[in-house]
Amino acid sequence: MRSACAALLAALTLLGARPARADGKPARNFVLVVANNRSLTPGVAPLRYADDDGARWYELLAPTATRISLFTVLDVESQRLFRALVPRAEAPTRAAILARLADYNRAMEAARAEGAEPVLTVVLIGHGEVSPAGEGFLSLVDAPLSRSELLREVIAPSKAAFNHLIIDACNAYLLVSRRGDDRAPAAADAIRRYVADEDLARYPTTGVVLSTSRAAASHEWSLFGGGVFSHEVRSALAGGADVNGDGRIEYSEVRAFVAAANARIDDPRARLDVTIRPPALDRSRPLVDLAASRFRHFVRLPAGASGRYTLEDTRGVRYADVNKEPDRPLVIALVGGESYFLRTDGAEVALRLDRAGTIDVAPSSFVPRPSDTRGPVEDAFHRHLFEQPFGAAYYHGFVESAGDLAVVDPPARPFVPPAAGSDGVDGAAIAERLAAARRRAGELALRRGDDRFVDLLLDWGAARLAAGDLREGARAVDALEHHLADVAIDRAAVARRRARPDAVPH
C-alpha cells in the first residue's frame, strides 16, 4: 500500500493541470519547452542560462498545462536549483522532440474528439544561427532545427486549435567577423525571418513571441540568472501585463509590457529585436488564462501602489519584475514554493506560501533592506530596465500607435483570485468530473485490474472527496483525466478489450 501511495503522489506531482475555459468548453494545453546552452558551431561559447530559462518556463507553464515536457540538459548548478525537474528533463535531440510532438498530436486529436479545444505552446531557447544557405536555425544537441523544419515538422502537422511559439534566440557570435566579412545584419535578419510574415500568413492559428539579441550581454544577465527577454515575457504572463484585470494575458498586453520594460534602454548593445504577433484568426487569443489555471498562490498589489517591484523565491531565483502604475490593482500568480521576497527600492516584504489563496500587500508591510552594490558594467540594465511604468495609460497609448487590437477594458468578467486560505476548488464540479472519468473508463472497456493506475486514482479521488480534501481530490481527477486521454490514443488496445466476452464497465 505504501508503494502504491508513493506512486500516486509521484504521478500527481508529475502531471500538469487540466484547466477549463470560462465558457465551459474544456481546454487542453500541451506545452513543449526546449532549451539548449550549446551551439553546433565549433568554437562558439555556450550560453550560461538557457537551461535555467527552460526550467523556469516549465515551472511557470505547468499550472496551465494538461501535458508538459522539458527538453534540456541541466548543468550542475541548475540541478541544485531545480532538483525536482532533474528526473523530468530529457535530452533535446531532434528525434526525441519530434516524437513527443507526434505523441501530442495524437492526444490533441483525442481531445478534439472529446469536444475539447487543444492548444500547443512551444518554447525554444538557445543559439540562433545561420546555415551556409542563409537559413536561420536553432541548435539542438545533435542537429539543427531549421526554419523550414519548424514550419514543416512542428506547425504544419499540429492538431491544435491554436499554436503559440515563444523563441528566445541569441546570435551574438555572428557579430564576430571570422573571414573579414560583415555578417551581422544578414545574421540578425535571418533569425527574424525564422518566423517571417509571409510564412505566418499560411498558419493563421499560430502566434509568435520572438526575440533575437545582437549581443550576449543583452541576451543573458547574471542578475536574472537567465535571458532578459524570457524574464520579461514570464513576468508579463505571470500577471504583470494583465492591464485590464481579466486574467487573460493577450499578445497585445505582452508586446506593450516588453516595450515598456525596454523603453528607456539607451545603450544600443543592450537592445533586443522583438517580434510579437498574435494568431491572425483570433488576435485576442490569450497566451495564458490565469482564471483557468491551477495556480494556488497569488500576490496582489493594491491600487495606489506604484514603482518597481521584484519577486524572488527562497532559492534566489528571480521570478518577476514589474513597474506598476498606481491606477489599478495588480495580481501576480506565484509558482508554488516555501516563500517569496517582494522587493522595491530599499525595502522588502516576505511572502509565506503556507496556505493557498491571495496575499494582499500593503505599503506598510515593507521593511527596510540594505541597498545593492552595483558596478558599471551592467549599469544600463540596472538603471533603465523596467524604468518605464506599465499600466492602462501606457498600454492604450502603445496599442494605438502600434495598430494592435486592444483588450476589452473593462472586461466583461474580471479575474478574481482565490481568497487567502482558499484552494478555489468547487467540490461539486470535481465530483462531477470524477463521475465522468468513471464513465469514460467504462467506455474504454477498462475493468478493475486492467489498469492499476486507473483503479488507484478512482479510489483515491473518491476517498479524498469523501474526506473533504478537495485539493487532493482535484489533483487525483486531473491525473485520471490525463491518463485516460493517453489510454484512448491506443485504439487497438481499446478494441481488444471491447472484444473480450467478459468485458464489463469499470
C-alpha grid cell, residue 314 = 527562497
Q: Which amino acid is at 500?
A: R
Question: CB burial class (10 A; 0-12, 13-18, 19+) of residue 103?
Answer: middle
403: left (phi over 0), alpha (psi -120 to 50) or beta: left
Residue 348 pLDDT class (50, 70, 90 cuts):
very high
Would you call 235 helix, strand, or coil by DSSP?
helix
Q: Phi and psi at residue 90, in whole multiples of 5°?
A: -125, 150
CATH 3.40.50.1460 fits 24-292, yes or no: yes
- Per-residue DSSP letters for 351-402? EE-SSSEEEE--GGG-EE-PPPP--STTHHHHHHTT-S-BSHHHHHHHHHHH
The alpha carbon of residue 466 and the mean position of all alpha carbons in its chain are separated, in whole angstroms, by 33
Q: Residue 254: pLDDT band by 50, 70, 90 thresholds?
A: very high
- Residue 166 pLDDT > 70: yes
What pLDDT is stored for residue 383 in this prediction?
57
Q: What is the pLDDT of residue 479?
A: 82
Q: What is the pLDDT of residue 20?
A: 44
Mean pLDDT confidence for 251-267: 88
C-alpha to C-alpha distance for 164 and 276, rounded to whole angstroms: 11
Residue 413 CB: number of other CB atoms within 10 A?
A: 13
pLDDT at 340 over 80: yes
Domain definitions of the chain by residue range: 24-292, 297-371+387-402, 427-498
CA distance 145 to 449: 43
Q: Average of pLDDT values for 308-329?
A: 93
> Quick check: 155 pLDDT over 80?
yes
pLDDT computed for residue 465 by the predictor: 81
pLDDT tens per residue, range 203-232:
999 999 988 654 443 465 555 656 788 999
Mean pLDDT of 93-97: 96
Residue 152 burial by Cβ neighbours in a 10 Å radius (0-12, 13-18, 19+): exposed
> What is the fold, at CATH topology level, of the domain defined by 297-371+387-402?
Immunoglobulin-like (2.60.40)
Of 20-29, 75-84, 317-326, minimum mean pLDDT range: 20-29
Average pLDDT value for the chain: 80
Neighbours of 205 (CB within 10 A): 18
> Could you tell me which residue, 355 or 106, shows the higher pLDDT?
106
Backbone angles phi, psi at 151, to 5 degrees: -75, -40
Residue with cell 524572488: 312
Highest mean pLDDT among 32-36, 180-184, 428-432: 32-36
**Which candidate, 165, 67, 72, places its Cα nearest to that of 107?**
67
What pLDDT was estimated at residue 487? Answer: 76
CA dihedral 182, 151, 59, 346 (to 10 degrees): 40
Grid cell, residue 47, equals 550560453
Rounded to a whole number of angstroms, the distance between the first and last alpha carbons of the chain is: 21
